[in-house]
A and B are shown apart, each in its own frame.
Chain A
């Protein structure tokens, strides 16, 4: 029941918001549907805590420790982003950057995007996961081009074609998995793509085919994760679309994509008995971290800056999953959570800052803190958190990842430390003058929604100091499930 509500609410929201169009209360309706989704996710979580794993819809959907916390996180960030987007989009409409008619598209696609991500997270069928991932791209293409500027059209086209081609590789990978599974599970093929079934027989799957499949799956879903060198679409799509979309792309979509990669990795590693998938994840992860850290220096646009920071953090997460084992997996899961919360909080603050300054260029945004202390401090605290300063949650997860790397893969530690240092200098050096110093920003016609910013940062702070026992329990259960080593 909770499950039907979880997927049904955003789908119903997409249809309703498409029908009611640009009424004045469309934004409130959007938040209401998001709230419904979040409540359904909470109810589902409570039920899973009580009853354990869940299989629904003829085994096509399932909930286990790995996806349940991602579902809740996705629904939560979906809710806070919808709260942030209400004043943000209202200001954009009044400034004439988008027509009211396009708001209808925006709200409807926002709900559809949420639905596709939740389907991708909860489906047990690797084929359906692919379908949902592709649908998530399609529902956001028109959101990236919402402003219809030349740059946004270019970003949208790049996003579509790169992710489309990437995800076609993933379909080929999925096909190969099906091909290998059919030999073991039986020719009927009804259950041959169901993850729970594959997990049971993973030791018997043909290793040659699966290693080939993993290459295609990693390249395919890795494009969506934004792993270097397949990251080209990411900064453009983040910078040119409306800021609420940047927040959900960065905070949620990348998580869902890496979730898909890890689900596949578990199967392939079980079949291969070698380290190939881990090595590949580590390699791509490290390359992303290093490349992103150096690209950070060249950024002049604040949203592009934080987009590259997302690539860096996705690299760290991929690297940690590559190390494998209970501790590194635990750290990677924690990092996924805190990165998602922090990065979306930063995008909320950045969104209001760019509206106040009327530009996204870093050099033209100065002294936020004098006119609007909350936006300024929100951005500053968020930046410190994303850079891994204690006592925030990212410090805890990065610390765990680094210490594990030191023990398991000592060669990688200096590279990681160097990249983190470079990233710190680049981002802090750019954000500091934006927040402090002489001011050049204006007041906004609607009061900005800053509750989401501080709610997120508060949670990140809490996760840095204290992880609630049931959450830690989940993380541990999920880390064991993912395995490695």
Chain B
């Protein structure tokens, strides 16, 4: 097997960075650091998209790189930092599962993801197909982050990280989705953030906190 060209090796290195940042998110309790990690993921995605666009010569990838830069590297982290400052949530509470346990679970998830990706990788013809397993791992790790957190902001960051994983998956498997779909998804993410911004202030006005244990009164048989 011939060695991979340098640019693709770089993309693989970026993919590894993405996975590492997912693990970092899993263990991080400071909300501000979580946002920074999210911004890091955005930057990694931006660089990977740019490299791929240059390498494959697909013009629509430049557009989605620009979109990533604007939305995920600049706007979302800025908005989240502002939200955190205004709402004064700096620390998440103790996670529901202790950190070493979560990490172990995370490792198992990565193994499982690569197993799940196997049939897709076998069929893929893109040069970046090895990223598919990592994308699935990022999605599932983000899911785990959401499950183990109590604060609404941390859950939201997990949600956005899941979207990053999906984006990277589309990139690795098919060099991105059709333009119109990518634009639509970006619009949805943007609107979701704005809606949640409003929503967080509503929660806080009502409970004086963003801790989700206040939101546990709607149980069956109440």
Contact = CB atoms under 8 A, between A and B. Distances in A.
Identify the 3 closest CB pairs spanning chains A and B, nearest first.
A127-B181, A131-B184, A154-B215
A158 B218 contact: yes
Contact of A151 (B119, B218, B220): B218
10 contacts: A138-B188, A145-B199, A157-B203, A165-B143, A175-B166, A179-B120, A183-B125, A192-B178, A208-B123, A300-B222
- Chain B interface, DSSP helix/strand/loop, else mixed: helix
Contact of A141 (B125, B155, B199): B199
Interface string A112-138: 000000000000010110110011001
Contacts of B155: 161
B207 to A, nearest CB: 7
A154 B192 contact: no
B177 A175 contact: yes
| Most-contacted residue by chain A among B139, B162, B188 (CB, 10 A) | B188
Interface string B6-50: 000000000000000000000000000000000000000000000
A172 interface: yes
Contact of B159 (A150, A158, A161, A240): A161
Interface in B159-188: 159, 162-163, 166, 169-170, 173-174, 177-178, 180-181, 184-185, 187-188
A131 B181 contact: yes
B206 interface: yes
B97 interface: no
B100 interface: no
B212 interface: yes
B200 to A, nearest CB: 10
Given A135-B188, A183-B123, A209-B120, A150 B174 contact: no
A208 B187 CA distance: 31
Interface of A: 60, 125, 127-128, 130-131, 134-135, 138, 141-142, 145, 148-151, 153-158, 160-161, 164-165, 168, 171-172, 174-176, 178-179, 182-183, 189-190, 192-193, 206, 208-209, 212, 236, 240, 295, 298, 300
Interface string B132-163: 00000001000100100000100100010011
Contacts of B207: 150, 153
B119 A212 contact: yes
Interface string B190-222: 011001101100110111000010111110111
Contacts of B119: 208-209, 212
A168 B162 contact: yes
A131 B185 contact: yes
B123 A209 contact: yes
Interface residues of B, number: 47
Contacts of A145: 199, 202
A192 B174 CA distance: 11
B124 interface: yes
Contacts of A298: 220-221
Given A131-B187, A161-B146, A138 B192 contact: yes
Q: Which of B139, B152, B155, B178 has the most CB of A within 10 A?
A: B178
A219 to B, nearest CB: 12
B177 A127 contact: yes
Residue from B146, B159, B184 having most chain A Cβ neighbours under 10 A = B184
Nearest to B196: A160
Given A154-B215, A168-B162, A179-B174, A130 B199 contact: no
B177 A150 contact: no
A179, A190, A192 — which one has the most chain B CB atoms within 10 A of its CB?
A: A179
